[in-house]
Chains A and B, each alone.
Chain A
Amino acid sequence: MRIMKLNNRCRRIRTWLYAAMNRRFGPEASWLHNHIMYCPRCQRRLVSCGKVNLALSFMKSQPLALDLLMRANTQAIAVLKHSLRREPKAQKLERKLPEPKLLERCSHYGHSVVNLAACILILFLMKIGVFSSMGNLQTQGQKVIKQYYVKQVGGDLADEIFAKDTELPSSADFDNIANA
């Protein structure tokens, strides 16, 4: 248990260390950019490194035919022993199409999950009384403002302005306040 904790801590620190090192010495570091601007050798190195990454990205993004897995399976099964070829699993493999990974499949439901989580959070906040506290806060705020108005323009006018909580004061009221 203690070793596990230690390992987790070690892993966490390693991640932070990696992020910190990357910020300080990674390709995005400003001192590196400043150097590369004036060093033709480093410019060449950076370009060739970028070329490798670009070529790797091209290789990864090259789409493969949908039936390639099926064809490859069929060709591979054809050289296996006869008894294996007759297996139902082999026949299933000969018709198999590529399937997206679990994470890719779940990514479609990402928005729905986020929405659901937001709803649950709102319900939870309502349950623990955050919204009623916010209502109280609003009422208290209104009271403070009313007191301010009472001090500044008098009780009658303040009562008129704050007669209804939600009703906004009319322009005439504003004029009165201004005159006062």
Chain B
Amino acid sequence: MTLMFGKAISYRSVWDFAADESVVESQRWILSTMQKYGQELVTMLWRILGNEQDVCDAYQETFLQLAHYEGGRKPEHLKAYVFRSANNIAISMLRRKIAERNRRSRPLTTTSVSSPAREIDSKYLQETLRSYIAQLPEHLRNVITLRDLAELPYSQISRILGISAATARVYRCKAIQLLSVWMGKEE
């Protein structure tokens, strides 16, 4: 009986070991992805969020989503998937933060008092722009974050978003126009 029990345990551990090995084999690409795009992702997230802890959280969430994508399957367009999910996660976090800040105090746009010193205050300008980027329509926002914050070339952006490079340029131009109108109203 003891012998049988012992055998059962050893079979189980062998099975676990084999399962572990297969998981490692099948999901090793996650680590490679982290190695390949990690730096660019962190830079982009830092520029969108501007807070170290938020960057770490968004980065973690991105890779958690990637690991659970269709039961651990590798997405066909890996870079596109990673960048788009990181972008979406960061924007959701940013929106939550803005909403929370607005709940606690009056919104940033209404509290602003125009003065030359305030207008060139880097922190204030960044926060304002972040809040407006979060309000942009998705197609414009994706282009502005990938082009201006992740500093990817238009050719890559077009592949990530599934649009042509010319369309990406037009979207960026529209996004800048919209942002400048909103920033102009700020005064």
**Which A residues are closer than 8 A to B by beta carbons?**
44-45, 47-49, 51-52, 54-56, 58-60, 62, 64-65, 68-69, 71-73, 75-84, 87, 89-90, 93, 96, 98-99
Which label, helix, strand, loop or mixed, suits the secondary structure of the A interface? helix
Nearest B residue to A81, CB-CB? B23
**Which B residues are closer than 8 A to A by beta carbons?**
20-21, 23-24, 27-28, 30-32, 34-35, 38-39, 42-43, 46-47, 50, 52, 55-57, 59-60, 62-64, 67, 119-120, 122, 125-126, 128-130, 148-149, 151, 176, 179-181, 183-184, 186-187
Decide yes or no: A52 and B129 within 8 Å by CB, A45-B180, A81-B27 being known contacts: yes
User: In the complex the two chains form, is B23's CB within 8 Å of A83's CB?
Assistant: yes
Which label, helix, strand, loop or mixed, suits the secondary structure of the B interface? helix
Nearest A residue to B17, CB-CB? A83
Pairs A–B under 8 Å by Cβ, sample size 15: A45-B184, A48-B186, A51-B183, A54-B120, A58-B125, A60-B47, A60-B148, A64-B55, A68-B56, A72-B38, A73-B38, A75-B57, A77-B34, A78-B60, A96-B38
Q: How far is the CB of A147 from chain B (nearest CB, A)?
A: 63
Q: How far is the CB of A73 from chain B (nearest CB, A)?
A: 6
| A residues in contact with B21, CB < 8 Å | 83
User: In the complex the two chains form, is A90's CB within 8 Å of B52's CB?
Assistant: no
User: In the complex the two chains form, is A64's CB within 8 Å of B125's CB?
Assistant: no
The 9 closest A-B pairs by CB, nearest first: A48-B184, A55-B129, A55-B125, A72-B59, A48-B180, A83-B20, A76-B63, A49-B180, A58-B122
Decide yes or no: A68 and B183 within 8 Å by CB, A58-B125, A62-B47, A75-B60 being known contacts: no
User: In the complex the two chains form, is A68's CB within 8 Å of B46's CB?
Assistant: yes
User: In the complex the two chains form, is A93's CB within 8 Å of B35's CB?
Assistant: yes
| A residues in contact with B32, CB < 8 Å | 89
Interface centre among A47, A54, A69 (most CB of B within 10 A): A69
Nearest B residue to A51, CB-CB? B183
User: In the complex the two chains form, is A52's CB within 8 Å of B176's CB?
Assistant: yes
Q: How far is the CB of A25 from chain B (nearest CB, A)?
A: 13
User: In the complex the two chains form, is A98's CB within 8 Å of B39's CB?
Assistant: yes
